Structure 1
Amino acid sequence: MNFVVLSILNLFKGQIGDMSFSNFDSTIIFDKFAELQSSIGTLAVHDGPIAEAHVILLAAGVVIFLGVAGEAFFKKTGIPDVAFLMILGVIIGPVFGLIQPEAVIQVVPYFAALALIIIMFDGGLNLDIKHVIRTAHFSVTLAILGFILSVVMITLAAHFALGWLWLESILLGSIVGGSSSAIVFGLVRNVKISEETKSMLSFESALTDILATIIAFILFEAVLAGHFDIQTLQETIGRAIVVGLVLGFGVGIPWMYVSTKLGNAQHGYMLTLGILFVLFFLANSFGESGALTALVFGLMIGNKSHLAKILRFKLPRIELDDPTHNQLTFLVRSFFFVFVGLMASFGQLEYLIFGVLMTIAVYFGRILVGKITLTKRFSHLDRAVTNSMIPRGLAAAVLATYPITMGLPNAEAYPQLVFFIILSSVVITTIGLGKSKKIPPPESVEGGFVKPDDDSKKEKL
């Protein structure tokens, strides 16, 4: 109850602070109180827990079971388990009402932060730095062109079709502007494409997650303030990149050395996780979302054998506690996508239509960007998989919750629109990957570059 009262007071303070008394108009007072009443209505949550304890445990058991079953089903069919988890959230939330979405919103910001850093860290651990360097120019080009094109298309549609203001439309476009690293990292491991293409798609999705996060937070403040400053955008992106790289490398390299001295310590992984949480706090304190820091830190730890040769220090045989990390990543990822389903709403048909049409537009935009970016060295299979890889997911779901907690205009619409875009993008990606399986890999390499370079030939010999 105290949470609700404090939230109401903060809302009241914010509403009064927005008023200008220089040109007093009594209608402003009534309009503001009407907005305040509407805002208070969204805070009508239970004083007790989200649901009864036994219901929560039942839901958790079902999530774990479905997550494991979905992962096995994905390996057999190529259909991402994300769709099953989101549908489960819809069933236990909006359909049967076992868990109230309004109560989940209180938990999501905290769980979302945990999910973001764990999955970005996992992505860094599984990236081969040699392949990342070789395909970095493709990844950056795909990320920037694809993100900009998606944002432009969604912005125009939201402004003219939904009647939103330009800033709100750009914010929506930024939230769903890039592919989801949480989904792409899992998909590329089970597709028979080249290692270069796997690294390119993984790194691209990580970059777009970071871009979406940084730009969205800038736009949150811009929507609240009512104006946008391009200089602030440039400074914020620059600061975020510098902070992310400095913290990721600055702490990752020393900890890479320290972790070798620990050997296979019983709690070695938990110590690494503790460092990751501290890095997330420092990154946020210095104006970075923590996503880039977690990615770079994971990249350092995951490639310590290769980096040890470059830095010239001996590396004893040590293995990261992979079972623990994999199980933690699985749990965090599974529960968050169920949370996305919990917040879904089917009250407005136009949001469903908008989400599906925008996803189709993004898909065709992806094909265009792929033609511009990928050279003839990529096989037909690599190109087909790249064109299909448009799933939206974790970052979009996380960012869609912030307009509600910040009291932005059209706040309730963001989770609904993002839900339909995520679900339809996963469906399109699944269909595209299914068609790609019918394409035979080139003879030279399994799914890889048609003409491997000299280094690849030497490695094979």
Structure 2
Amino acid sequence: MNAIHDTYWLLAGAAALVLVGIGSSLIARRFGAPLLLVFLVVGMLAGVDGPGGIHFDDIGTTYRIGSLALAVILFDGGLRTRRESFRGVSAPTLLLATVGVVVTAALTSLAARALLGLGPVQALLLGSVVASTDAAAVFFLLRAGGLQLRSRVGATLEIESSANDPVAVLLTTLLAEYLAAPSGVAGSDIVFELALQFGVGALGGALGGFAIAVAMRKLPLSGGLAALFLVAAALFVFGVTGWLHGSAFLAVYFAGVIVGNRNVPGFSHLLSVLDAGTWLCQIAMFLVLGLLATPHTLGPALLPALGVAAFLMVVGRPLAVTLCLAPFGYGKREIGFVAWVGLRGAVGIFLASIPMLMRLPNAQLIFNVAFIVVLASLLVQGWTLGLAARLLDVALPHRDRAVRRVELDLPGSLEREMVGYAVAPGAAILGDASLPGWAQLAMIVRGGEILMPETAGALQGGDYAYLLAPPGRVYRLDWLFAPPEEAREAEREMFGEFSFDADVRLADVAEFYAVPVRAKDAPLTLAEHFARRYEHTVEVGDRVRLGPVSLVARELDDEGVRKVGLKLERLGNVLVRRPWLARLLPKRFVAR
């Protein structure tokens, strides 16, 4: 009976910790406090040195819970990484997530050797433990501060924060195995292990991702079972890849990226269901790591650890970011902000448990230093992210979009989904604008009555319009239904910053904006170029990519494209190559 009552008490206590953490986070949100810090503090207060007095020192359980939680978090991060995010930032971001982690670890090890007296390999192990950033903490703080990042900076941080964890895990594991070996490990063995981990991890993630996507399309699963299948399949990929000596964390992230960019039925609904599971994993990992910490042992390492944290924030991370991003044309403000957003989180504390699990020399010291570095990063960088974003001018004020759309997946259809809009009075769709050919009006709700398009007549302000459209294109309809005061922003997102007549020659655009075009295409007008590309079936919103810019069909007439918008995909790489050309063509290349 005692065991049964203990089980009840254990479950009630665990649920109480979660509830206290969630309640505290609501209060912390008002002060901009990092969410991760809240759950860590709750865990510490419940621990042996806090009012809770819970004695928890099971490193093995901590590692298992952390591995499970991190696998789900990485898979969820991969699912939310869109292929479009990689455009223009894939090379610098992946360099930052790989080489940048190694450089950060190496530089931080210099401070660790000087301040803590660790050996070179132990110092490098500590540097690897704190080398990766925490995506969840970064984006929670930016949302809480009412900010949205400029596209290139946001994409860089999103991909780097998700992709650098597997590299840090791999580096930490290899160094821990090196220190655990009685006679050390040969350099050739390390190179072989590194190649094996990356090779098997990438292959396992690719095969697993494609297999999961195919299974999700073939199996008739309901929403709840589909989400459960998705998580179970991801953990299966994680476990099998690790058993085959590959990087399980790389594999599960890679699998998530592949699944997230395939046509999976009910994908938006799956993400909303998985969001709750991901939050639970984050909370569980943060609370357990907080329980594992013993504040009374942190005192001797406090000052040296703060020195390591300061070096990491102002020297190690900024140098690594500069080396990785400067060659790709990132500006000083962008580099400065990405460097400051090197927010450390639960992954660092989780990795610090690996040396303790393997009972390595100075393992407790490494754990304590990592814990202090994470707390310092959350307190200093976490509370100043919004300020840094505004000072460095890399963020735009976040506004809730007045144009709202509801997306519904259609069972049995992977090519179309239903999207609903409230038709705002004065919206463009009520004027001269028309729906593109790939969007089909399915029904209209007017005055509480459902009408078919044939009987409803023209759309009216206050209607609710439901359309069928390809999932990847629905956002292109926003500008048609936005109220007048919001239409400018939605239209800019659709067609870009500039527009001009379609009789402009492609060579003039290429010369003016320093973008590449093929010699045989240069004499063509923009209208002719669109006609060739789309075989005379151009629709509003169709686009042609020219290096760092996209040309968007803005207006049509009976002969084809009449007006073209120009969308800057990578602003830092778009230059006016000839100043004299800007004087010759100012009337034809004008901002709207």
Residues 22-421 of structure 1: matches in 2 within 5 Å?
Answer: 53-54=8-9, 57-67=12-22, 69-70=24-25, 73-74=28-29, 78-93=32-47, 94-102=49-57, 104-184=58-138, 186-187=140-141, 191-225=147-181, 226-262=183-219, 265-266=222-223, 267-305=225-263, 318-345=267-294, 346-365=296-315, 366-375=317-326, 378=330, 382-421=334-373
> Do the aligned residues in 1 keep the contact of 2:206 with 2:258 (CA within 8 Å)?
yes
- Please state how far the C-alpha of 1:389 moved relative to its aligned partner: 1.2
In structure 2, relative to structure 1, the CA distance for the partners of 1:185 and 1:436 (3 Å cut) is closer
> Do the aligned residues in 2 keep the contact of 1:193 with 1:382 (CA within 8 Å)?
no
In structure 2, relative to structure 1, the CA distance for the partners of 1:184 and 1:246 (3 Å cut) is farther
Distance (whole Å) between structure 2 residues aligned to residue 257 and residue 152 of structure 1: 42
Distance (whole Å) between structure 2 residues aligned to residue 85 and residue 69 of structure 1: 8
Number of the residue aligned with 2:539: none
> Do the aligned residues in 1 keep the contact of 2:35 with 2:140 (CA within 8 Å)?
no
Please report the RMSD computed on the Cα atoms of aligned residues, expressed in angstroms.
3.3
Distance (whole Å) between structure 1 residues aligned to residue 355 and residue 394 of structure 2: 45
- Please state how far the C-alpha of 1:276 moved relative to its aligned partner: 1.0
Distance (whole Å) between structure 1 residues aligned to residue 337 and residue 221 of structure 2: 38
Distance (whole Å) between structure 2 residues aligned to residue 459 and residue 348 of structure 1: 50
Going by fraction, where is strand more abundant, 1 or 2? Answer: 2
- Please state how far the C-alpha of 1:390 moved relative to its aligned partner: 1.4
TM-score (norm 1): 0.77
- Please state how far the C-alpha of 1:263 moved relative to its aligned partner: 5.4
- Please state how far the C-alpha of 1:188 moved relative to its aligned partner: 6.0
In structure 2, relative to structure 1, the CA distance for the partners of 1:277 and 1:246 (3 Å cut) is same
Distance (whole Å) between structure 2 residues aligned to residue 299 and residue 455 of structure 1: 25
Q: Residue type matched to 2:53 in 1?
A: L
Give per-residue Cα distances to partners, 1:74-101, cap 9 Å, x unaligned.
4x55432011111111111122353212
Distance (whole Å) between structure 2 residues aligned to residue 188 and residue 261 of structure 1: 39
> Do the aligned residues in 2 keep the contact of 1:390 with 1:426 (CA within 8 Å)?
no
- Please state how far the C-alpha of 1:68 moved relative to its aligned partner: 5.6
Give per-residue Cα distances to partners, 1:26-47, cap 9 Å, x unaligned.
xxxxxxxxxxxxxxxxxxxxxx
> Do the aligned residues in 2 keep the contact of 1:85 with 1:338 (CA within 8 Å)?
yes
Higher RCO, 1 or 2 (CA under 8 Å, sep at least 6)? 1
In structure 1, the gaps of 5 or more residues are 1-47, 306-314
> Do the aligned residues in 1 keep the contact of 2:142 with 2:386 (CA within 8 Å)?
no
- Please state how far the C-alpha of 1:408 moved relative to its aligned partner: 1.2
Q: How many residues align?
A: 400
TM-score (norm 2): 0.61
Distance (whole Å) between structure 2 residues aligned to residue 173 and residue 160 of structure 1: 13
Q: Residue type matched to 2:363 in 1?
A: A
- The answer to which of 65-74 and 194-203 deviates more is 65-74
Distance (whole Å) between structure 1 residues aligned to residue 205 and residue 17 of structure 2: 36
Aligned with 2:390: secondary structure?
coil
> Do the aligned residues in 1 keep the contact of 2:115 with 2:307 (CA within 8 Å)?
no
Number of the residue aligned with 2:445: none
Going by fraction, where is helix more abundant, 1 or 2? Answer: 1
- Please state how far the C-alpha of 1:146 moved relative to its aligned partner: 3.4
Distance (whole Å) between structure 1 residues aligned to residue 191 and residue 26 of structure 2: 40
Q: Residue type matched to 2:195 in 1?
A: G
Aligned with 2:237: secondary structure?
helix
- Please state how far the C-alpha of 1:299 moved relative to its aligned partner: 0.7
- Please state how far the C-alpha of 1:270 moved relative to its aligned partner: 0.9
In structure 2, relative to structure 1, the CA distance for the partners of 1:64 and 1:385 (3 Å cut) is farther
1:422 aligns with 2:378: no
Distance (whole Å) between structure 2 residues aligned to residue 420 and residue 80 of structure 1: 15
Number of the residue aligned with 1:27: none
In structure 2, relative to structure 1, the CA distance for the partners of 1:318 and 1:432 (3 Å cut) is closer
Aligned with 1:192: secondary structure?
strand
> Do the aligned residues in 2 keep the contact of 1:135 with 1:199 (CA within 8 Å)?
yes
> Do the aligned residues in 1 keep the contact of 2:202 with 2:254 (CA within 8 Å)?
yes
1:455 aligns with 2:550: yes
Q: Residue type matched to 2:33 in 1?
A: I
Distance (whole Å) between structure 2 residues aligned to residue 183 and residue 298 of structure 1: 20
In structure 2, relative to structure 1, the CA distance for the partners of 1:207 and 1:68 (3 Å cut) is same
Distance (whole Å) between structure 2 residues aligned to residue 255 and residue 108 of structure 1: 29
Number of the residue aligned with 1:20: none
Give per-residue Cα distances to partners, 1:116-153, cap 9 Å, x unaligned.
10110011011112222431211133234532333223
In structure 2, relative to structure 1, the CA distance for the partners of 1:254 and 1:343 (3 Å cut) is closer
- Please state how far the C-alpha of 1:410 moved relative to its aligned partner: 1.6
Distance (whole Å) between structure 1 residues aligned to residue 250 and residue 76 of structure 2: 12
- Please state how far the C-alpha of 1:348 moved relative to its aligned partner: 4.4
Distance (whole Å) between structure 1 residues aligned to residue 373 and residue 38 of structure 2: 15
Distance (whole Å) between structure 1 residues aligned to residue 209 and residue 26 of structure 2: 31
Q: Residue type matched to 1:370 in 2?
A: V
> Do the aligned residues in 2 keep the contact of 1:73 with 1:81 (CA within 8 Å)?
yes
- Please state how far the C-alpha of 1:358 moved relative to its aligned partner: 1.2
